[in-house]
Amino acid sequence: MGHFRLLLQVAFRNLFTSKINLLIGGIIFFGTLLVVVGGALMDSMDSAMSRSIIGSIAGHIQVYSDDSKDPLALYGSMSGEPDLAALDDFSQLKPFLEKHPNVRTVVPLGTSSAIITSGNTVDLTLSRLRELYKTRDDAGETPALRENIDSVKGHVRQMVELMAAQTAKSEQELGGGANKDPAEVEALARARTDAFWDTFEQDPYGALELLENRIAPQIPDGDMLELRYAGTDLDAFQRTFDRMEIVDGQAVPTGQRGMLLSKLFYEEFLKLKSALRMDHIKQQRELNQKTIATDPELQRWVKENQTQTREIIFQLDPLKTREMVSRLQKLLGTQEAGLEPLLTRFFTLDDDNFDTRYAQFYAELAPLLELYRLRMGDTLTITAFTRTGYMQSANVKVYGTYQFKGLEKSAMAGALSLMDLMSFRDLYGYLTADKKAELAAIQKQSGLTALNREQAEEALFGEDSGVLVAEAASTDIDDRAAFLGAEETLKRDDLLQRVYSQQEIEQGVALSAAVMLKDPEQLEQTMAELRQAAKDAGLKLRVVSWQEAAGIIGQFVLLGKLVLYFAVFIIFVVALVIINNAMMMATLQRVREVGTMRAIGAQRSFVLGMVLVETLVLGLVFGAAGSLVGSGFMAWLHSTGIPAGNEALYFFFSGPRLFPSLSASNLVAAFVIVLGVSAISTLYPAFLATRVSPLQAMQTDE
């Protein structure tokens, strides 16, 4: 013990006596700081991203068919939608998975994408006018309904005049309208005449057809949008993923068809673009401290709002136009009468007036506008490719919007809308119970007989071929009866109002199952046991973790860790070489001291221990300093957070800011690495020190 105490005294005495020791200490200090801070940041990001993926859709484990051609990629892949084989009956898979003691809940899933159209402003107004006329035909005309029809007609007529004015302006700026379709020019001219509007009530549907087919397409502000959605048991999904919250509207009633749009999708693609740009400017100013004066993107949004006022102007009927002009005149303190110059002036924004104008926009102007092209309760027509490649459409009622708390701005977690399983199965091309019943009714009504391959030849060419082949007979078709029959069928089989039992929801196909665990620490063990249980039961299933199910997104943090570890490896290889050379120089400088110690009786083991202990003390002192500074830096980051500079980082940070934390494992790893590198780099110099003889030491001047 006294021997070791002596070595420590010598080590501390020599700690700051040499510039070489300070060089070595500096390398150890910065190396430790890098390991502590880098390791803590990567672990925190890994934990945050796992919360994003697990809490948004993946669960801890995903289970899907082993017959699938592609691996599961919940957030899409570089090659498009993965080709997954269906799980034929979720009602059989669910109890199998729930038998495992560590499984808490199982939720059916299926992801896909579809095309929807947002419609342009003229389309939406004409659709509203058509519905008013249908209401009049069905229920009769009332004074309130007449007033409503006249108001919307006035709005449409004003739109036509605005289109004509903008067309003339564009032709003047571009030098003529040679590329304009003559039929469109003639239709626009006709729609502006008094005769067209005076005779509108004589044939409103014919007039609407002209406006819808010839006028509305001339306004190219309708968008074809890609909608990514997940079909699921909506009630089970909301119970399982507790970060989910309804923002607008309401949840889809239990057992009914319907969908919840992603709040992010609803805002980004269905909101009035002028309002959306205002929101983006506000967000960038507040969250990322950007300014209009210095940021080109904010300046571009301001310019677009100044020049792209048509979407607002076309929304307003004559009464609302007068009210909008009045409000803008009051806000701007001007007597300007034109709506377009007033809007341009209002949207002339800078850092001094933005907050005031933003508040004025939502308080004064927004109440006169339709901020969204789709309202809660509207029915959305969704067109998607089925699994066999043909197009399939379905009408789905939108009950509300939802988001995951903390991931409101994440495009990856927030881009997925939710749909009931029955509608998902229809769009994906699976034969649901409703489809089977519909086909059976058609077959019974038409008298068709289903034949298998073996029966087809005999039925067509055999003695009883007359059963299938018959002479065609001409007859009159009662169009009205056929139409009314179809209408009655639609009313009778109104899928949007039907309530499905839980058994009906679960008895059908799904593409995967999300599994939430009671103890996530046993993830690997649970996966292995589920794989073995599936193998024993003869079920062809793939069981993958949340990270693998997320596809390329789930590999980002792993890649980041590898980059960090490689950087640490390179730094410490360099450090090892530098420390080794520095210790060699330090040993050569102490030849006389070592020789004197040998001359008075110090053994080689003492000299070896002295050099090693000095290096370890150096590593402990400067390593502790690096760990202390790194811990302080991480404590500061934990309190202030690291802002997500863009929407992609929202997902990786599991929110608008990452609050990293430091664990004991980060400190232990730093100390082990630092002391290991220090000890290894000292072995050769220490060995040289033990070879110094007293005679050599006495003969040198150093």
* Token pair 């095309």: residue: 115
Interval 270-292 mean pLDDT: 91
CA distance 388 to 395: 20
Answer with the residue of higher pLDDT: 598 or 357.
357
Task: Give a yes or no: residue 48 inside a domain.
Answer: yes
Return the structure tokens found at 684: 């050769």
Interval 608-634 mean pLDDT: 79
What is the predicted pLDDT for the residue at 414? 75
**Whether 339 and 208 share a structural domain:** no
Angle at CA 327, nearest 5°, toward 325 and 331? 115
478 band by pLDDT with thresholds 50, 70 and 90: very low
| The last residue of a domain, from among 191, 218, 245 | 218
**Whether 576 and 681 share a structural domain:** yes
Average pLDDT over the chain, rounded to whole?
Answer: 79
Whether the predicted pLDDT of 541 surpasses 90: yes
Answer with the residue of higher pLDDT: 174 or 308.
308
Per-residue pLDDT reduced to its tens digit, 299-313? 999 999 998 888 898
Maximum distance among all Cα pairs of the chain, rounded to whole angstroms: 128
CA distance 516 to 244: 15
List C-alpha distances in Å: 224 to 117, 120, 417. Answer: 5, 10, 17
493 band by pLDDT with thresholds 50, 70 and 90: very low
Helix 19-53 vs helix 556-589: angle between axes, to the nearest 10 degrees?
Answer: 170
Q: Which amino acid is at 680?
A: I
Interval 506-519 mean pLDDT: 92
Task: Give a yes or no: residue 686 inside a domain.
Answer: yes
481 band by pLDDT with thresholds 50, 70 and 90: very low
Per-residue pLDDT reduced to its tens digit, 670-688? 777 777 776 776 666 666 6
Interval 296-301 mean pLDDT: 94
Range with the poorest average pLDDT among 2-11, 288-297, 549-558: 2-11
Answer with the residue of higher pLDDT: 307 or 219.
307
CA distance 511 to 504: 17
Whether the predicted pLDDT of 255 surpasses 60: yes
**Whether 301 and 205 share a structural domain:** no
Answer with the residue of higher pLDDT: 438 or 627.
627
**Whether 562 and 678 share a structural domain:** yes
**Whether 22 and 149 share a structural domain:** no
DSSP strand pairing (259-262 vs 224-232): unpaired
Task: Give a yes or no: residue 429 inside a domain.
Answer: no
Per-residue pLDDT reduced to its tens digit, 196-214? 888 888 888 888 888 888 8
Whether the predicted pLDDT of 518 surpasses 80: yes
Whether the predicted pLDDT of 106 surpasses 90: yes
DSSP strand pairing (391-404 vs 259-262): parallel
Considering only CA atoms, which of 678, 696, 673 is closest in space to residue 11? 678
- Are the beta carbons of 517 and 32 closer than 8 angstroms? no
Task: Give a yes or no: residue 596 inside a domain.
Answer: yes
Whether the predicted pLDDT of 256 surpasses 60: yes
| Beta carbons within 8 Å of 227's beta carbon, 6+ residues apart | 113, 114, 115, 116, 265, 382, 417
Whether the predicted pLDDT of 480 surpasses 50: no
Angle at CA 135, nearest 5°, toward 134 and 139? 125
Task: Name the percent of the chain lying above pLDDT 90.
Answer: 26
DSSP 8-state code for residue 59 = -
| Beta carbons within 8 Å of 537's beta carbon, 6+ residues apart | 96
Task: List, in sequence order, the alpha helices (H) in 383-452.
Answer: 411-414, 421-428, 433-446
For 609-666, strand residue ranges (E) read: 642-643, 657-658
CA distance 205 to 301: 40
- Are the beta carbons of 642 and 653 closer than 8 angstroms? yes
What is the predicted pLDDT for the residue at 472? 46
What is the predicted pLDDT for the residue at 475? 45
| The last residue of a domain, from among 162, 190, 218 | 218
What is the predicted pLDDT for the residue at 590? 61
Total structural domains within the chain: 3
Per-residue pLDDT reduced to its tens digit, 140-152? 888 888 888 888 8
Considering only CA atoms, which of 128, 163, 185, 126 is closest in space to residue 313? 163
Per-residue pLDDT reduced to its tens digit, 519-529? 999 999 999 99
What is the predicted pLDDT for the residue at 33? 83
Task: Give a yes or no: residue 442 inside a domain.
Answer: no
User: What burial letters (b/e) apply to 324-333, b meaning 16+ CB within 10 Å?
Assistant: bbebbeebee
Interval 372-387 mean pLDDT: 84
**Whether 561 and 679 share a structural domain:** yes
Return the structure tokens found at 464: 């009883």
Which range marks the domain in which residue 685 is found? 2-52+555-697
CA distance 383 to 427: 8
What is the predicted pLDDT for the residue at 101? 94
341 band by pLDDT with thresholds 50, 70 and 90: very high
Whether the predicted pLDDT of 59 surpasses 80: yes
| The last residue of a domain, from among 371, 398, 417 | 371
Task: Give a yes or no: residue 678 inside a domain.
Answer: yes
**Whether 568 and 678 share a structural domain:** yes
Task: Name the percent of the chain lying above pLDDT 70.
Answer: 73
368 band by pLDDT with thresholds 50, 70 and 90: very high
**Whether 577 and 665 share a structural domain:** yes
Whether the predicted pLDDT of 138 surpasses 50: yes
Range with the poorest average pLDDT among 485-494, 503-512, 650-659: 485-494
What is the predicted pLDDT for the residue at 603? 62
486 band by pLDDT with thresholds 50, 70 and 90: very low
- Are the beta carbons of 241 and 57 closer than 8 angstroms? yes
Q: Which amino acid is at 127?
A: S
What is the predicted pLDDT for the residue at 52? 80
Specify which of 228-232, 313-317, 379-383 reaches the highest per-range mean pLDDT: 228-232
What is the predicted pLDDT for the residue at 542? 94
Whether the predicted pLDDT of 483 surpasses 50: no
Whether the predicted pLDDT of 607 surpasses 80: no
What is the predicted pLDDT for the residue at 356? 95
Answer with the residue of higher pLDDT: 92 or 599.
92
Task: Give a yes or no: residue 498 inside a domain.
Answer: no
Helix (H) or strand (E) segment spanning residue 114: strand 103-117
Which SS3 state, helix, strand or coil, does residue 651 take?
Answer: helix
Task: Give a yes or no: residue 39 inside a domain.
Answer: yes
**What is the number of other CB atoms lying within 10 angstroms of the CB of residue 466?**
9
* Token pair 């802002």: residue: 643
Whether the predicted pLDDT of 176 surpasses 60: no
Considering only CA atoms, which of 671, 112, 15, 607 is closest in space to residue 386? 112
**Whether 559 and 693 share a structural domain:** yes
**Whether 48 and 148 share a structural domain:** no
**Whether 42 and 135 share a structural domain:** no
Strand partners, 657: 643
What is the predicted pLDDT for the residue at 569? 73
What is the predicted pLDDT for the residue at 690? 62
**Whether 571 and 693 share a structural domain:** yes
List C-alpha distances in Å: 221 to 99, 120, 122, 137, 297. Answer: 53, 5, 9, 31, 22
